[in-house]
Amino acid sequence: MTAARMSTRPAEQLVPRSIATIAGYVAALFVAELLLAESGFLAGGISHVLLLLTLLAHYVTTEDAPYRPFLLALTLPSLMRLVSLTVTVVDLPPVLWLAMIGIPTSLATLFVLRLVPAGLGSLLDPPSDLPLQVVVALSGIVHGILLYLILRPAALVPLNEPGAALVAMLFLVLFVAALEEVIFRGVVQAVALEITGSRVAAIVIGAVVYACMFVSADSPLAPLAMLAIGALFGATVAFTRSLWGVIGAHALMIIGLLIVWPAVAG
Where on the chain is the footprint of another protein (CB under 8 A)? 36-37, 40-42, 44-46, 49, 52-53, 56, 59-60, 63, 72, 75, 77, 79-90, 94, 97-98, 100-105, 107-108, 111-112, 114-115, 151, 153, 172, 175-176, 180, 184, 210, 213-214, 216-219, 222, 226, 254, 257-258
The residue (of 109 and 196) whose beta carbon lies closer to another protein is 109
Contacts of 202 by beta carbon, 8 Å cutoff, 6+ apart = 189, 190, 192, 193, 196, 234, 238
CB of 130 to another protein, least distance (A): 27
Q: How far is the CB of 66 from another protein (least distance, A)?
A: 16
- What is the distance between the terminal CA atoms of the chain, rounded to a whole angstrom? 58
Contact 69, 111 (CB under 8 A): no
CB 170 within 8 A of CB 264: no
CA dihedral 241, 234, 246, 75 (to 10 degrees): -100
Contacts of 179 (CB under 8 A, 6+ apart): 102, 105, 106, 109
Question: What DSSP state is assigned to residue 155?
Answer: P
The CA distances from residue 205 to 23, 51, 93, 147, in Å, are 8, 18, 33, 22
Q: How far is the CB of 124 from another protein (least distance, A)?
A: 19
Nearer to another protein, 107 or 138 (CB): 107
Our CB check for another protein shows the closer of 86 and 128 to be: 86
Closest distance between another protein and the C-beta of residue 160, in Å?
22
Rg (alpha carbons) of the chain, rounded to whole number:
19
CB-nearer residue toward another protein: 127 or 255: 255
Residue (78 or 240) nearer to another protein, CB: 78
Min dist. Cβ of residue 98 to another protein (A): 7
Distance of closest approach, residue 116 Cβ to another protein, in angstroms? 10
Query: How crowded is residue 205: how many other Cβ atoms within 10 Å of its Cβ?
Result: 28
Least Å from the CB of residue 137 to another protein: 18
Q: How many angstroms separate the Cα of 224 from the Cα of each of 70, 78, 110, 159, 211?
A: 23, 20, 29, 28, 7
Pick between residue 83 and residue 137 the one whose CB is nearest to another protein: 83
Kindly tell me which of 65 and 257 has the beta carbon lying closer to another protein: 257
